[in-house]
Structure 1
Amino acid sequence: MSKRQFPNIDILRFFAACLVMFYHLAVSSWAAAGVQSANILGGRASFPELLPYFWSGFVGVEIFFVISGFVISFSAERSEAFSFARSRVFRLYPAAWICSTISLVALIYANIAPPESYLKPYFHSLLLSPKYPWIDSVYWTLGIEISFYALIFLVLAVGFWEFKTTIAYVLGSVSAAYWICGYLVMPQFLASHLWSRPLELSLVPYGCYFALGMMLFFHAARGLTSREKIFCGVLAIGATIEIMFKAEHANRVFHSAQSNWVPVAIFVIFVALAASALTWQPERKLATCLRQLGLATYPLYLLHDNAGTVLMSWLLDNLTGYRFLALAVTMVACIATALLIALVLEPPIRGFLAALWRPRKSRGAVIQDG
């Protein structure tokens, strides 16, 4: 496959990040008692009017996993194990170092806990440790992403990437079977292990999403066979069950009674848009803008929750009675900061890392993905 760009993936990735941002800032920051952002906000404001619209924004994470399956498959297609690992390190760590430092400074400013209590979470975040605690709860997904990257690295290292379709089948089948069989036989186990860290890192709960992303890649590269289309349907069933369990959990946390099918519908729409617009190639300027938004997605995801809530709290203290204005300004500031990080602050760090870690000869160029 030639070195192509997929602008629809960039824009869908950005919208997914915005969905998660709305979920955290407009809903969980006040409706989820006990989470760090709620402690930061301290009851300064609530947005009950927005809860019916954004309570299901947690599904943006599942959309990220699908997009990751697509992008990582694209990257692995034209890279060796060494260059693949190098591209992942360059993509993940610079933004994490910058965003975790911003979050640390914001939390110290918020003064809701002793500064020394943030040292361990901060270093866990700098290292992208798979183990809690982190400077911001959003880092929980990165260990899962790294598990998937590690799987693809091992496949490349042993020269088995030519069996990528089989790998997608195994990964997706195990995950879909976990959800489908679990739903039919032991739903209580699924509910009680919804946030089991060992299970998450094993990719069992989320493998259906990464496999679905790999299938999207196969669809873009060569089209899907009838059997692969049926397999995508099985993956969709597993994903639906997982999202429904997450929706029930969210309703309990928010003391709401929203339809569990809403996040499922959002997920299906996003995946359908990704699949239907893979061949779309806009004119160069628009493609560049979309690419920049795509690159900003990762830092936006990392910094919007705690740092964003600290900013919103400060705005609420200084804009008394203008809660929606504070929310809007916070979201715009998070997006602007993410663009600054992706386009200005990250490149020099990547250049420094490139000087330290020089690549060996690769089979081809590796897409700078997210």
Structure 2
Amino acid sequence: MSGFTKAADRTVTAPEAAARSIGLPPLHRPLPPASQGGRPPVAAAQRGGRLAVLDGLRFLAALSVVLFHFVGQTPASMEFVWGRPYDQVFSEGAHSVFAFGRLGVDLFFLISGFVICMSAWGRSPRDFFISRVSRLYPMYWTAVILTTVVLLAFDSPFDPPQGQTVVANLTMFQTPLGVNNLDSVYWTLWPELCFYLLFAAVVWRGLTYQRVVVFCGLWTVAAVLSAGSHIQLLTLVVNPTSAPYFIGGMAFYLMYRFRPTPILWGIVGMSYLLGLYFLLTPTGGRNNWATWHPWRPWLVLATTLFFAAVAAIALGWTGRVRWRWLSTAGTLTFPLYLIHDVIGVTVVNHYGDAVDPWLLVLSLTAGLVLLAYVLQRFAERPVADAARRAMRSGSFGLRTPPPQR
């Protein structure tokens, strides 16, 4: 009882009072346990494990992008894919529904903010670097090589790539180099890379609740300023149209790891509004929907559902869902996303006139999922494991070498 009295009588410092006023946890004490109205941090095993529902959402996002490219693209793109006007292939209703698969990328980014924050927590900058490199490059290089072979060896509607284009794409820095993506879907890799590079600064300092909150706030301000500044370099680094989803995902992870607070809900709310703004802006945004799909209320509904789904995970409402097949599906997301476009469009271009369109789309999608599993199981995983072992065995040459004698 005396201990409780001492704690209650303790003088609250000005910094702590300021922290409390905006929803930050105390500066020098852990979050209060659930019995005192707070939510304890999740267990270590749970923090490091996979979240089945999150994996399922990630696979659903990838699948929606795949079907968008085959069924829901703009009329001009659909004619390029199928060789005839889209309304001669699919009904207007089907085309309108699958057009929303384009938003799967936004869900990707939202989940990425959650996952990267979760996987980086407690890791050193070295471990963070190893995890990101081994996660991205093995499968990406496999996809670039496979795509190049398809473009060179088969009669594809896409132009054969030039050597310098392939080389630039292998670096994953083709966007800042001003080189075309070998596959149009690669455009999302640059915002991801920028997120990793920016977030690495926080990892270097050590991840804490306060530091991630400050990072979210600074990135939000930078995104708003860069959107209106028209400074190309700033926009290239900050990625204002993608940033709100990464930021919202990080805030959701803080809710999951600690507890919801007013400042976290404020970050999520601002990210949601900025995401909608860039989505609905006819000029200056990433999606110019007004030119071909003007019914915007559905865009608002879809984005709202994305944030609501990740919020349910962050609040622990889906914790009992532990189906292993969802986690397996989650591992197929990256390879499926990388390989589906050029390979799929090449197949459609060859057999679009000979096979029923829906049968072709369904069988092609199933085949791509199977190919993604084979690549993940026998290419990505072994190479990634070997890369991690190799990088962990050395110091990257960062230590000062001994002087030459």
TM-score for both structures, normalised by structure 1: 0.82
- Cα deviation for residue 176 of structure 1 reads 5.0
Contact 2:72 2:101 in 1 (8 A): no
Pick the structure with more helix per residue. 1
Aligned mates of 1:277, 1:248 — CA distance in 2:
27
Deviation track 1:46-105 (CA, whole Å, cap 9, x = no partner) reads: 334322102122211111111111011001112110010100011101111111222222
Map 1:107-122 → 2, pairs under 5 A: 107-108=151-152, 109-112=154-157, 115=160, 117-122=161-166
Q: What's the counterpart of residue 90 of structure 2?
A: 47
Map 1:27-38 → 2, pairs under 5 A: 27-28=72-73, 31-33=75-77
Q: What's the counterpart of residue 366 of structure 1?
A: none
- Cα deviation for residue 147 of structure 1 reads 0.5
Aligned mates of 2:262, 2:276 — CA distance in 1:
21
Q: Say whether 1:345 aligns with 2:392.
A: no
Deviation track 1:122-141 (CA, whole Å, cap 9, x = no partner) reads: 22332212423121011111
Map 1:174-213 → 2, pairs under 5 A: 174-175=222-223, 199-213=235-249
Aligned mates of 2:104, 2:376 — CA distance in 1:
20
Which amino acid is 1:11 matched to? G
Which amino acid is 2:172 matched to? L
| SS of structure 2 residue aligned to 1:102 | helix
- Cα deviation for residue 44 of structure 1 reads 8.3
- Find the partner of 2:289 among 239, 242, 250: 250
Q: Say whether 1:140 aligns with 2:187.
A: yes
- Cα deviation for residue 247 of structure 1 reads 8.2
Contact 1:138 1:302 in 2 (8 A): yes
Deviation track 1:299-354 (CA, whole Å, cap 9, x = no partner) reads: 111111111111222332542xx111111111111222112222232111113313
Q: What's the counterpart of residue 6 of structure 1?
A: 51
Q: 1:357 to 1:178 in 2, by over 3 A?
A: closer
Map 1:313-352 → 2, pairs under 5 A: 313-319=349-355, 322-352=356-386
Q: 1:198 to 1:54 in 2, by over 3 A?
A: farther
- Find the partner of 1:170 among 190, 196, 218: 218
- Find the partner of 1:154 among 201, 209, 213: 201
- Find the partner of 2:138 among 75, 79, 94: 94
Q: 1:139 to 1:197 in 2, by over 3 A?
A: farther
- Cα deviation for residue 154 of structure 1 reads 2.0
Q: What's the counterpart of residue 364 of structure 1?
A: none
- Find the partner of 1:23 among 48, 68, 79: 68
Which amino acid is 2:96 matched to? P
Contact 1:67 1:213 in 2 (8 A): yes
Which amino acid is 1:43 matched to? R
- Cα deviation for residue 39 of structure 1 reads 4.0
- Find the partner of 2:341 among 305, 320, 345: 305
Which amino acid is 1:346 matched to? E
Q: Which structure's CA Rg is the greater one?
A: 2
- Cα deviation for residue 25 of structure 1 reads 1.3
| SS of structure 1 residue aligned to 2:239 | coil
Contact 1:41 1:310 in 2 (8 A): no
| SS of structure 2 residue aligned to 1:357 | helix
Aligned mates of 2:335, 2:257 — CA distance in 1:
29
Contact 1:16 1:60 in 2 (8 A): yes
Which amino acid is 1:337 matched to? L
Contact 1:178 1:205 in 2 (8 A): no
Contact 2:156 2:346 in 1 (8 A): no
Q: 1:300 to 1:208 in 2, by over 3 A?
A: same
Q: 1:160 to 1:296 in 2, by over 3 A?
A: closer
Q: What's the counterpart of residue 275 of structure 1?
A: 311
Aligned mates of 1:303, 1:80 — CA distance in 2:
32
| Aligned-residue identity in percent | 24
Instruction: Give structure 2 stretches of 5+ with no counterpart.
Output: 1-41, 396-405
TM-score for both structures, normalised by structure 2: 0.75
Q: 1:160 to 1:210 in 2, by over 3 A?
A: same
Which amino acid is 2:217 matched to? Y
Aligned mates of 2:114, 2:60 — CA distance in 1:
16
Which amino acid is 1:47 matched to? F
Which amino acid is 1:249 matched to? N
Aligned mates of 1:314, 1:347 — CA distance in 2:
32
Q: RMSD of aligned C-alpha atoms?
A: 2.7
The structure showing larger relative contact order (alpha-carbon pairs under 8 Å, at least 6 residues apart) is 1
Contact 1:69 1:213 in 2 (8 A): yes
Q: Say whether 1:76 aligns with 2:120.
A: yes
Give the paired residue count.
Answer: 337
Instruction: Give structure 1 stretches of 5+ with no counterpart.
Output: 362-370
